[in-house]
Structure 1
Amino acid sequence: MSQIIDVRKLINDRPLGRFQKWVVFLGFVIIVLDGFDAVIMGFIAPQLKMEWGISNQELGAILSAGLIGQAIGAMLAGPLADRYGRKVVLVSSVMFFGVWTLATMASTDVTSMALLRVLTGLGLGAAIPNTSTLIAEYSPERSRSFLVTLTLCGFTCGAASGGFISAWAIPSFGWPSVLLLGGALPVLLAMILVFKMPESVSFLVSKNASIERIRAIISRLAPEIDTKGVTYNLGRPTLEDRTSIRIVLSREYRLGTYTLWTGYFLVLFLIYLLSSWLPTLIKEGGGYTVSDAAIATAMFQIGGQGGALSVGWLMDRWNKSRVLMLTFLFGGLAVFAIGQITEHYVLLCSVAFCVGFCMIGGSVGMNALAASFYPTEARSTGASWMVGFGRLGAILSAFAGAQVLALGWSLPNVFTALILPALLSALAMYVHGLHTNSSNRIASLSAI
């Protein structure tokens, strides 16, 4: 008789091995380059504005074009990854944003550059959710959230390194040199991924792929297992009769899906608004210098790194939705506090760190939550669509920030108003947790 192995149980019962660590490393490198290319236009914007003589509105069109592309890319890539595989979509997305970043070097006007940034964004938008999905499917459940958040910390590493590289390269070689590096590295990485990145073994089992393909990965994942005469499953019936979109929007997942979309939209709205406008708000509302405002904003970003790792660690030990709900509640309190302590600079920087810790850290945690919430057959679609809707919030934040400045609100009033998206995102996580707990109880009763 042939032996049957539940691949999810196999991954959960084993310590994290070298093969899984290699997958996490490749995912981290993907996200580092994704972070570098996502913010690359911000680094070259001052030089571009000076050389081309363009207005702030034209520059804003170029900067927002990438976000539009990212939203579209995320929405398209999820269903494709659930149908054709995580690897093919990831390799294609990395190659895509690399090639179009290289092509951006040849731009001669605002229109062509904005169009190329939309195309670049298509690849960038696919990278984060599908990397999260692949890491989640190779991670044991006891450390899944932490490994996903650890991988996504690469985004800030890539964004920060872009600043240092740009500061050296632009004065010496001009702004196209930054685009050259930002395009060449992803193209090189994509060629490496073709040979070195494995497909998700859970995806292969869900699609009834050939035993040889599955066996080759199991032999690397658990080399001590004799795979001769072995068949594989996911410990449950597969959902091949439904498309990934139908699963995500089905009755059992619909409420959870809507709460994820709502929460991520609100969180990214707040994060991008603060990232873009916090220096201006602190400078004009608090009476600080440009350097002081930049340092306070940097503390906001640094807090996000610590928050991502801490939230991921906590999510592996307690109820995931509850951890995120409390994180966003504390983040809302910290947002409110910024407007009340503008006269105390050191305290202002400390609170900005706390805001980043909670809001950025919580947003990264939501990627881990989405990767845990959906079944293998719809995991990429669920995670990608959440990211896509979140990008819409990021786009909207640019207009909201400009409107707030135009209204001339005081700093306390601005940050009092910004409590609302934090509190609503906490509410979304609370409802998500209720829905998940209710679904689990129904599933348990049905199994009796």
Structure 2
Amino acid sequence: MSLQARPLQLPDFVDERRVSPFQYVVITLCGLVMFIDGFDTQAISYMAPHIAEEWGLSRQVLGPIFSSALVGLMVGYLVLSPLSDRFGHKRVIVVATIGFGVCTLAAVWAGSVTELMVLRFLTGLGLGAAAPSCVAMTGEFSPKRLRATFVLVIYCGFSLGFVVAGLAAGWLIPVYGWRSMFWIGALAPLALVPLLLRFLPESPVFMIRRGHDPQRIHQVFRRMDRSLAPAQAPTFAVEAEDSGRRAALSSLFTRDRVLGTLLLWFIFAINLAEFYALQSWLPTIMTGLDYDMSTVVTATTLTTVGGIAAAFVTGPAMDRLGAYGTLGVVYLVGFVFVALTGLAFNAPLWVLLIANFFAGCCISGGQKSLIALAAVFYPASMRSTGVGWALGIGRIGGILGPIVIGAALGANWSASAVFYAMAVPMLVAGLAVLFLGRRYGTRKNRTAAVADPVEPATTTVASQDGARA
């Protein structure tokens, strides 16, 4: 065996090489977890009208059922996902996947609203713990030149889960009943666990920081590059900003950043409120208007397809035309199409479907673009903390959105009135993003060197006995 002359450096090792089949496997596995996350999140929306009919529930009771999983998602995102710093991304992903699979399976036998809400909350905990680690693993195994693309791909996996949930509901629920969706939502993650255990590696950054066996770490590097020679005493290094350490929460509230942080949280809350209100209630609203199941599925699926399609337009536009202006326009256009959806309930079906598609472009597509905007706003040293907390706090909007719409429907608001009301926050979000751009868009580039000074690379070396130097 040859000796390792120089430390293997991350992220340079990944950035300087072509993407290997092994890396594609890692990204695919993370995408599958996100896909199941999306399936589970959306499936309850198609089950809800049938649950209400079987259990004799009023429509406003469905709001807390929708939101219970979102509460769990927020808690999982803010409280459980940081456990990856202690136990590693792989362990968190595997345990979380088992957890939300088992809880979804238990929901098959739920006999009351309380039982269902508790199980949906526990399911949300697992989903909230798994998703951030999947994003982190995807980023770690992606070269910088393709990192945003690969993260976008696994987020599209989440949206694709929404689409498949609709297709499965249209086929399974009329024949096998609403509990069949829980069966699928439980068996899929449990079937994925053996693949995760066998093919998903642990994060090399985590193993280096924790002083794991150097040969085990070196094996992960060799799976990325088969031409890498064996080494008797491999050593490794991780740049400071990629070391996996989280910036302090207080760094988000410095004098020149506090307003931007609070506005981002506000916009995240609006977008997630719109997203979950639309996805949760559109099937129930259309069922109540006597649309058949296939039409309900088509309309709801189009909102998700619109979000996927929008991602391939807004991403390049944000790079070329500016992140703030692009997203601001997306939300302002969304204001128009959400309001048009309200009008379209009294129009021919094709008008409603087109309105649904473009509303989805702006709500679902806007959410993906907002994550990218947060990554632009925060410098590298605090990006993980900034984006993570924005998503976590934004879940408050995701929780309240379905509850508010449920209360409005319970107060006998018409479907059209509900969508007119939902259009207003899109206008507010658009104006807030444009204000952010005016306040930070150009100044950020001028002050980047001050706000995010370049740190010297901090090297973590794994010696043969597992000690770190």
Which SS does the other structure have where 2:240 is aligned? coil
**Partner in structure 1 of residue 239 of structure 2:** 235
Residue 97 of structure 1 deviates from its aligned partner by 0.4
Matched, 1:264 2:256: no
Match for 2:449 among 437, 441, 448?
441
Give the residue type in structure 2 aligned to 1:19: F
Q: Which segment drifts farther, 105-114 or 434-443? A: 434-443
CA–CA distance in structure 1, aligned partners of residues 8 and 257 of structure 2: 27
CA–CA distance in structure 2, aligned partners of residues 279 and 170 of structure 1: 13
User: TM-score, normalised on structure 2?
Assistant: 0.79
Match for 1:110 among 104, 109, 113?
113
* Native 8 Å contact 1:68 1:118 kept in 2: yes
CA gap of 1:256–1:225, structure 2 versus 1, over 3 A, is farther
* Native 8 Å contact 2:331 2:426 kept in 1: no
CA–CA distance in structure 2, aligned partners of residues 210 and 372 of structure 1: 36
Identity of aligned residues (%): 32
Give the residue type in structure 2 aligned to 1:442: V
Match for 1:90 among 93, 96, 109?
93
CA–CA distance in structure 2, aligned partners of residues 9 and 323 of structure 1: 31
Matched, 1:29 2:36: no
Give the residue type in structure 1 aligned to 2:445: N
* Native 8 Å contact 1:204 1:214 kept in 2: yes
**Partner in structure 2 of residue 197 of structure 1:** 200
Residue 74 of structure 1 deviates from its aligned partner by 1.2
**Partner in structure 1 of residue 46 of structure 2:** 43
Give unmatched runs, 5+ long, in structure 1: none
**Partner in structure 2 of residue 54 of structure 1:** 57
Residue 100 of structure 1 deviates from its aligned partner by 0.6
Alignment of 1:260-409 (within 5 A): 260-277=264-281, 290=291, 296-314=299-317, 320=323, 323-335=326-338, 345=348, 346=350, 349-368=353-372, 382-402=386-406, 406=411
* Native 8 Å contact 1:300 1:356 kept in 2: yes
Residue 148 of structure 1 deviates from its aligned partner by 1.0
CA–CA distance in structure 2, aligned partners of residues 309 and 270 of structure 1: 21
Residue 330 of structure 1 deviates from its aligned partner by 4.0
CA–CA distance in structure 2, aligned partners of residues 369 and 396 of structure 1: 23
CA gap of 1:382–1:442, structure 2 versus 1, over 3 A, is closer
Which SS does the other structure have where 1:105 is aligned? helix
- Give the aligned length: 444
Residue 164 of structure 1 deviates from its aligned partner by 2.9
Give the residue type in structure 2 aligned to 1:214: I
Matched, 1:137 2:137: no
* Native 8 Å contact 1:24 1:147 kept in 2: yes
Give the residue type in structure 2 aligned to 1:235: E
* Native 8 Å contact 2:104 2:186 kept in 1: yes
Give the residue type in structure 1 aligned to 2:367: S
**Partner in structure 2 of residue 211 of structure 1:** 214
CA–CA distance in structure 2, aligned partners of residues 84 and 62 of structure 1: 32
CA gap of 1:328–1:255, structure 2 versus 1, over 3 A, is same
Give the residue type in structure 2 aligned to 1:85: G
Q: Which segment drifts farther, 373-382 or 422-431? A: 373-382
**Partner in structure 2 of residue 419 of structure 1:** 426
* Native 8 Å contact 2:324 2:433 kept in 1: no
Q: Which segment drifts farther, 79-88 or 331-340? A: 331-340
CA gap of 1:123–1:55, structure 2 versus 1, over 3 A, is same
CA–CA distance in structure 2, aligned partners of residues 340 and 175 of structure 1: 31
CA gap of 1:325–1:127, structure 2 versus 1, over 3 A, is farther
CA–CA distance in structure 2, aligned partners of residues 283 and 187 of structure 1: 32
Give the residue type in structure 2 aligned to 1:361: G
CA gap of 1:445–1:63, structure 2 versus 1, over 3 A, is closer
